[in-house]
Each structure stands twice: as C-alpha cells, then as structure tokens.
A and B are shown apart, each in its own frame.
Chain A
C-alpha cells in the first residue's frame, strides 16, 4: 500500500490564483481530513469528510473548498490564494470511528 499520497510536494502561487491540492489513500479509510501547519504551531483542521459525498468544516475553513466524490480521493481547493494561506498542508485518513489518523507527506505552498 502507498498509504496517503499528496501532490504536488511544493507549489508557488501568486495572490488571486486558484489551485487544487490532491490527496489520495489506498487503505479504504472512510474518514479523511485536511490540516495546515504554520511555524511554531500544531496542525489545525481545515475540512474533513466521513465518507463519499459528506464533508464538514474544521477550525480554519475560510478560503478553502473540498469535495469527496470517491472513498479514495479528497482534494482541497483554493479559489483565490492569499499570502495568509502560505503554509504546509497535510492530508490524513483513518478508519471510521477510530482516532488514529495516518498522514501524507505534505504540500508546501507559498503565496506571493
């Protein structure tokens, strides 16, 4: 199993541009989540999903959209990038009802 994969690894955007961060998992996990990590801080939850077609907001959802059309994929969309969205983004997945989440390697995003 590849586990949780994320693409791209690095990305630079200009303010106002849009892009999609990709996340996929091959463990048949029901739950998937997106976190952002800023210097000196722990990871903060952006959006999460408990199954295909079901998404919900986390602690810091503003400026991000998600959808979950399949069990395997959970893309994160930035519609109009802002410098405040410069961060490292992590995707995670887990079996339904379990707390133990497995993280991808991250996407480092810089918005200029």
Chain B
C-alpha cells in the first residue's frame, strides 16, 4: 500500500517558536490532510488540501500541497502550550476516500 514519510518524528520547542513538519510520498495524490491528536482523544482535522500548490491557513497553522503532489508541509507559528500533541499527515485515495496516515510528529512545547 501507499507509504508516507513524515518528519521529524518528534520536536521539542520553546513557547513562541515556529514549527515546521513535512510529509513525502513516492506516489502522486490529489488530497492531503493534516490531523492533530491529543492524549486520549481521536484525531481532529486541521487542514485539508485539494490542489497542487495550494496554501491554506487555519489560524496560526499553514499547510501547503506540494507542486509535485508528492509532498505537503505544515507550519505552526508562535507556538503555545496547547499546541502539544501528535500531528499526522494523511492522504485520501480510492473510491471510498480511504485515509493513509504518516507515522506522526510528536510536538512538545516548553514554557
């Protein structure tokens, strides 16, 4: 099946810093999504991208759909303690829009 390479695996940053994480694949996809998971909860959708080159923002979060359609990145600006969690990229494929997830980036924000 499809495989997504997500990096970095974990990040420790100071409050107020900007964060960047990315996902790459060996195949072309038409939809990239970014989810956040907090401890003990299910993933929550942050941003969905549908067009190559598309840049979409959601508050302090910005995500881009790579022009080659093989990658995507997520930026978080001016991090705050509630940004702590695991961030997953995902691609949607197949007739039922099945999701394939990256392995996640564990984000820790230090005060």
B60 within 8 A of A: no
| Cβ-closest chain B residue relative to A51 | B96
Does A43 lie within 8 Å of B88, measured CB to CB?
yes
Q: How many residues of B contact A (CB 8 A)?
A: 25
Residues of A near B31 (CB, < 8 A) are 99
Residues of A near B44 (CB, < 8 A) are 103
Does B42 lie within 8 Å of A104, measured CB to CB?
yes
Residues of A near B102 (CB, < 8 A) are 42
List A residues 49-100 near B (Cβ within 8 Å). Answer: 50, 56, 58-59, 90, 92, 94, 97-100
Does A99 lie within 8 Å of B97, measured CB to CB?
yes
What range describes how many residues of A lie at the interface?
A: 20 to 34
Determine how close the nearest CB of chain B comes to the CB of A33; give it in whole angstroms: 7
Determine how close the nearest CB of chain B comes to the CB of A100; give it in whole angstroms: 5
Does A100 lie within 8 Å of B33, measured CB to CB?
yes
Determine how close the nearest CB of chain B comes to the CB of A46; give it in whole angstroms: 11
Residues of B near A104 (CB, < 8 A) are 42
Does A45 lie within 8 Å of B100, measured CB to CB?
yes
Residues of A near B40 (CB, < 8 A) are 105-106
Determine how close the nearest CB of chain A comes to the CB of B86; give it in whole angstroms: 9
Q: How far is the CA of A102 from the CA of B35 in the complex (A)?
A: 10
B52 within 8 A of A: no
Most buried by A among B4, B45, B97, B103: B97
A2 within 8 A of B: no
Q: How far is the CA of A96 from the CA of B77 in the complex (A)?
A: 34
| Cβ-closest chain A residue relative to B89 | A42
Does B88 lie within 8 Å of A42, measured CB to CB?
yes
Residues of A near B43 (CB, < 8 A) are 43, 90, 103
Given A90-B43, A103-B44, A105-B41, A31-B97 contact (CB < 8 Å): yes
Q: What 10 additional pairs, Cβ within 8 angstroms, besides A42-B90, A106-B41?
A: A35-B101, A42-B6, A45-B99, A56-B96, A59-B1, A90-B43, A97-B97, A100-B48, A103-B42, A103-B44
Enumerate 5 A-B pairs (CB-CB under 8 Å) in ascending A order: A4-B42, A42-B6, A42-B88, A56-B96, A99-B92
